[in-house]
Amino acid sequence: MMTREDIDTVKQLLASPKKIAIIPHRNPDGDAMGSTLGLYHFLKLLGHEPVVITANESPDFLTWLPSFDTVKVYEKDVEGCNKILQDAQIVFTLDFNTLSRVGDFMAEALRRVQAPFIMIDHHQAPDTYAVVTFSDTSYGSTCEMVYHFIQQLGEGHLLNKTIATCLYTGIVTDSGSFRYRSVTGTTHRIAAEFIDLGIDNSNIHSLLFDNHSHSRIQILARALQNMKVLPAYKTSYSTLSQEELNSFGHNKGDTEGIVNYGLSMKDIVFTAFFTENKDEGIVKISFRSKGGFDVNAYAREHFSGGGHVNAAGGKSNESLEATIQKFIATLAHTKID
Ligand code: 5GP
Ligand code: MN
């Protein structure tokens, strides 16, 4: 929860109508877009002028979110977005802990902003750029934190179907549909409140998970064919090369969630999913674990990444083959159980 002092600071900042920029992390996911758009609708009801700016484009499975069409994309309109950032009187950063998570290019623009920042986030080790840092790793999603943020400001009466639809989205996607260990009784009570507010919960699940393109299913099939199992390390991994992705005419977001299949096998507690991205010159890696094995620590140590205990990401500047060799080499001196 926020401290009394933080609540007072936020209340003062929001006491009169303001121009407000709201920023999620690069490669936005359900929690990033759900939390920023949920906050957007809340701030509008308070009489402010908010704008959500993402570093790059969002995946297709999130474009149905209420007011998604108002979202600005930094890479597509640098000048316009710089103007919004310079005019902003408050900047909210949501679902990330360090400015570099928006990418170096946009991070530089954020560092030039004079306005006060407010961070709402559930990742470890938050940076200190914000005047209010509402950061707590015990929450399963930033969306759940935005719900508490609204309640703590004493504005829970403003929660409505639109805000709830956005916030429910991130709660669902970041909890693996209510299955991860971060899910609490409170998570379910909030979901229940959202259903009572009239959200179409069943349809939201469909829009998120039963809305795939044919190319995504072909990409999934290839990733499953490519899956390797290393029983001695209770580990599995899979890969998609740029060539494979191109051969299916892939779209952004097509690889979302595929990593989880690697954990769906008996006796496997650690999985990694490697996606080659030739445009960015990197291999993007997703890590997942069951139980006590801390993939956040693992990703930080070996692949310049981070995240949470059971879900983290990282990257490598080496080739796909070299990255996999390195991954396998780390397993021999990693305690996996
Ligand atoms: P995903 O594998 O779904 O991309 O990410 C899983 C979790 O790890 C998310 O919480 C995400 O924010 C975090 N994450 C993904 N990639 C990176 C990265 O390169 N650096 C850091 N610090 N966190 C990451
Ligand atoms: Mn999140």
For 151-190, what is each residue's pLDDT tens digit?
A: 999 999 999 999 999 999 999 999 999 999 899 999 999 9
Measure the CA–CA gap between 122 and 31, rounded to whole angstroms: 11
pLDDT, position 100: 95
Give the Å distance between the CA of 142 and the centre of ligand 2: 5
Q: Given the structure tokens 């490697």, which residue do they identify?
A: 274
Which amino acid belongs to residue 165?
A: T
Average model confidence (pLDDT) across the chain: 97
- Helices 295-302 and 320-332 cross at an angle (nearest 10°) of 120
Measure the CA–CA gap between 48 and 223, rounded to whole angstroms: 45
**φ/ψ (deg, to 5) at 252:** -55, 135
Lookup: tokens for 19: 């121009």
Whole-number percent of the chain with pLDDT over 90: 97
For 32-47, what is each residue's pLDDT tens digit?
A: 999 999 999 999 999 9
Using the atom order of ligand 1, give the atom closest to the CA of residue 273.
2
Asked if pLDDT for residue 289 goes beyond 90, the answer is yes
Residue 165 neighbours by CB distance under 10 Å:
25
For 133-153, what is each residue's pLDDT tens digit?
A: 999 999 999 999 999 999 999
pLDDT, position 32: 98
Ligand 1 neighbours by CB, cut-off 6 Å: 259, 286, 305-308, 311-315
Asked if pLDDT for residue 337 goes beyond 90, the answer is no
Q: Average pLDDT of 209-229?
A: 96
Where residue 226 falls among pLDDT bands split at 50, 70, 90?
very high
Q: Average pLDDT of 276-282?
A: 95
Whole-number percent of the chain with pLDDT over 70: 100
Give the Å distance between the CA of 79 and the centre of ligand 2: 28
CATH 3.10.310.30 maps onto the chain at 214-332
CA angle 121, 124, 129 (to 5 degrees): 60
For 63-118, what is each residue's pLDDT tens digit?
A: 999 999 999 999 999 999 999 999 999 999 999 999 999 999 999 999 999 999 99
Q: Using CA atoms in the order 89, 92, 98, 99, what is the torsion angle rounded to 10 degrees?
A: -50
Q: Whose CA is nearest to atom 12 of ligand 1?
A: 307
With the most atoms of ligand 1 within 8 angstroms of its CB, the residue from 123, 142, 273, 301 to mutate is 123
Using the atom order of ligand 1, give the atom closest to the CA of residue 95.
12
Q: Please compute, for residue 3, the number of CA atoms within 13 A of its CA located in the half-sphere on the CB side.
A: 7
**φ/ψ (deg, to 5) at 186:** -65, -40
pLDDT, position 114: 97
pLDDT, position 317: 98
Q: Give how far Cα 114 sits from Cα of 98, 117, 129, 167, Å.
A: 17, 9, 11, 29
Q: Whose CA is nearest to atom 16 of ligand 1?
A: 313
CATH 3.90.1640.10 maps onto the chain at 4-209
Strand partners, 315: 284
CATH architecture of 4-209: Alpha-Beta Complex (3.90)
Lookup: tokens for 311: 């879900």
Q: Nearest-CA neighbor of 68 among 46, 51, 82, 86?
A: 51
CATH architecture of 214-332: Roll (3.10)
Using the atom order of ligand 1, give the atom closest to the CA of residue 287.
2
With the most atoms of ligand 1 within 8 angstroms of its CB, the residue from 121, 308, 310, 323 to mutate is 308
Give the Å distance between the CA of 262 and the centre of ligand 2: 21
How far the first Cα of the chain sits from its last, in Å, is: 32
For 243-273, what is each residue's pLDDT tens digit?
A: 999 999 988 889 999 999 999 999 999 999 9
Q: Nearest-CA neighbor of 23 among 110, 126, 127?
A: 110
Where residue 334 falls among pLDDT bands split at 50, 70, 90?
very high
CA 167 to chain centre: 13
Lookup: tokens for 322: 């070299």
* E-strand stretches of the chain: 19-23, 49-54, 72-73, 90-94, 117-121, 132-135, 228-230, 235-240, 270-277, 282-289, 306-307, 311-316
Using the atom order of ligand 1, give the atom closest to the CA of residue 288.
2
Give 21 or 213, the one with higher predicted confidence.
Answer: 21
Measure the CA–CA gap between 191 and 91, rounded to whole angstroms: 27
